[in-house]
Amino acid sequence: MHFIYLAIAIVAEVVATTALKACAGFTRLLPSCVVVAGYCIAFFFLSLAMGKLPIGVIYAIWSGVGIVLIAIAAWLFYGQTLDLYALLGIGLILAGVVALNVFSKSVPH
C-alpha cells in the first residue's frame, strides 16, 4: 500500500509542477489552484508512504521518477525538446530508480 501512496504522491507532484509554468507567477487562478492542490496531495501521500518505507529510498524514487515524468510532460504540453545528452541523463536517472527498486535491500519488497 505504501508504494501506491508513493505513486499518488509522484503523480500529484508532476501535475502540480507541470501546472506551475501555466500559472504565470500565480496570476492565473485555475492553474494556481492546480499547483496548490497538487502539492498538498503530493506531500500528504508522501507522508503516508514514509510510514513504512525509508525516507532516503522514497525521496530517490520520488525525485527520479518525477524528473522523468516532468520531462515527458514538458515535451508533450510545452514543446520542450531534449537533446541526446538530456535523454541519456534521464535514462540514467530511470536506470538508477529501477536498480534501487529491483536490486537494493534498502527497499522492502
Averaged over 80-95, what is the pLDDT? 92
Of residues 57 and 37, more confidence is placed in 37
| Predicted confidence (pLDDT) at residue 104 exceeds the cutoff of 80 | no
The alpha-helical segments, DSSP class H, found in the chain are 2-22, 29-49, 55-78, 84-103
**CA-CA distance, 49 to 1, in Å (whole number)?**
8
Averaged over 5-17, what is the pLDDT? 97
Confidence class for position 107, pLDDT limits 50, 70, 90: low
- The set of residues, in sequence order, having a beta carbon less than 8 Å from that of 89 and lying 6+ positions away, is none
Phi, psi (5° rounding) for residue 53? -105, 145
Q: Which amino acid is located at 99 in the chain?
A: A
Confidence class for position 19, pLDDT limits 50, 70, 90: very high
| Residue-averaged pLDDT of the chain | 91
